[in-house]
Amino acid sequence: MRINADIVAELKQAGENASDVLRVALTRLRGRIALVSSFGAESAVMLALAAEIDPAVPVLFLETGQHFPETLAYRQELARVLGLSDVRDLHPAKKQVENRDPEGQLWAFDPDACCMLRKVEPLDEAIIPFDAWITGRKRSQAATRQNLPVVEDGGNGKIKINPLITWTPRELDAEMTRRNLPRHPLTLRGYPSIGCAPCTRPVGEGEDPRQGRWAGQSKTECGIHVREIG
């Protein structure tokens, strides 16, 4: 492990309080930690909490080339409003896209391969210099996330830190209102969970928010949280 046991113990001592976890993570691991954000419907709270502690924290955004224009605009707006000075757009390798998805339609017949090309591989590459990364995953998001811990093994000596695990959509919404944070424009049009445009649809009342992602398919995760970073 590249992270010593004292830091892990401190993170665990911070319990499930997001600000406390972030303060330990961003101060004790400064220069060795990045935050991965989708700039989606619920991203603003985590980014605001992190910006209060270290607005220069590297923020990694997977610019798949398939996002809604609203997401790209929101990524710019949030970075500006919160004063985040190091948001990095991670693009898939141009040559790989030309070889593996020349028509830009891979999502339609092999979404796992598309996520591998446009999300998993770019993040694998970008995360190499870091020893830890922060995610915005919550237990309330899906049945598959109900046992999510605050600190988990990220593979290859890295750790993944999930400060928001206990937050519910209602709490996030209230915090966004309290802080007067900008909202992703698509949340007003029925998109409670927002990924790439071809793989996201609005959801109806009573539906699991993530049912709008890869709707009609067994796929529930893009792969960046399934595979260990090598």
Residue positions in the annotated binding site for [4Fe-4S] cluster? 114-115, 196, 199
Sequence-distant (6+) residues with CB within 8 A of 56 are 85, 86
Concerning whether 197 is annotated as a catalytic residue, the answer is no
Positions that interact with ligand SF4 (CB under 6 A): 64, 66, 107, 111, 114-115, 118-119, 195-196, 198-199, 222
Q: Which two tokens stand for residue 2?
A: 């590249």
Q: Which residues are annotated as a binding site?
A: 114-115, 196, 199
CA distance 29 to 89: 22
**CB distance 185 to 179 below 8 Å:** no
Shortest reach from residue 106's CB to ligand SF4, in Å: 7
> Which CB, 10 or 221, lies closer to ligand SF4?
221
Beta-ladder partners of 159:
132, 153
Catalytic residue among 87, 222, 224, 229: 222
Sequence-distant (6+) residues with CB within 8 A of 177 are none
> Which CB, 84 or 114, lies closer to ligand SF4?
114
Closest chain position to ligand SF4 (CB): 196
Shortest reach from residue 21's CB to ligand SF4, in Å: 28
Q: Which two tokens stand for residue 215?
A: 């709707």
Shortest reach from residue 45's CB to ligand SF4, in Å: 23
- Nearest in space to 101 (alpha carbons), one of 115, 116, 114, 119: 114
> Which CB, 56 or 108, lies closer to ligand SF4?
108
> Which CB, 48 or 113, lies closer to ligand SF4?
113
CA distance 36 to 134: 6
Q: Return the active site residues.
A: 222
